[in-house]
A and B are shown apart, each in its own frame.
Chain A
């Protein structure tokens, strides 16, 4: 049963520390998304990749956040240095873009990972 996996599931750290979150997308999916969920803001898109290339990272604070896909089976989201306001649940999702139509990318649904609950003290 193919699933998106994320590690760690929970992370507690002190302000100023580096945090790295990892995501393994579903094998064969070519699009990977990073979302952040907080009580105040709800779900927000941070960044997404297609075929390992970043397509949109406009939702991500560039000074401290970075997202990469070293290979097709691993996506990482790094925060350095972390701050208390970064405390949230970070979700990774993957999907398969089948092509591009006049209405935009044609792809199936997004499949979400279980999330990483980050607490920055």
Chain B
């Protein structure tokens, strides 16, 4: 079992739909990151959080430390949101090392 599990692996949605991507992890963490990888390969850090909720535009990230679970939500999805979304955790005892999930491929159709 991987330390970081994401679901679903693939997600296809229609423009305007509300999207949720889930991330579960099995170790104690000091922080969790959500990354976005565009079709061209570039990686952008969306959020870094260790508790509660963060919002940026149409993106919302939540984390429940007790349940070792985080969700990434996209409201009013758009085709330009199509990308791979990657969850990564920084373990309590791993310094700055990140452990990555396998990613969720999101396709938003017009």
Chain A residues proximal to chain B, CB less than 8 Å: 31, 33, 42-45, 48, 50, 55-56, 89, 91, 93, 95, 97, 103-105, 107-112, 114-115, 117
Contact = CB atoms under 8 A, between A and B. Distances in A.
B41 A44 contact: no
A50 B47 CA distance: 22
Interface residues of B, number: 24
Interface of B: 30, 33, 35, 41-45, 47-48, 50, 86, 88, 90, 92-93, 95-98, 100-103
B21 to A, nearest CB: 15
Contacts, number: 59
A45 to B, nearest CB: 6
A109 B45 CA distance: 7
Contacts of B48: 108-109
9 contacts: A42-B100, A43-B88, A50-B96, A55-B96, A56-B95, A91-B43, A103-B92, A104-B90, A115-B43
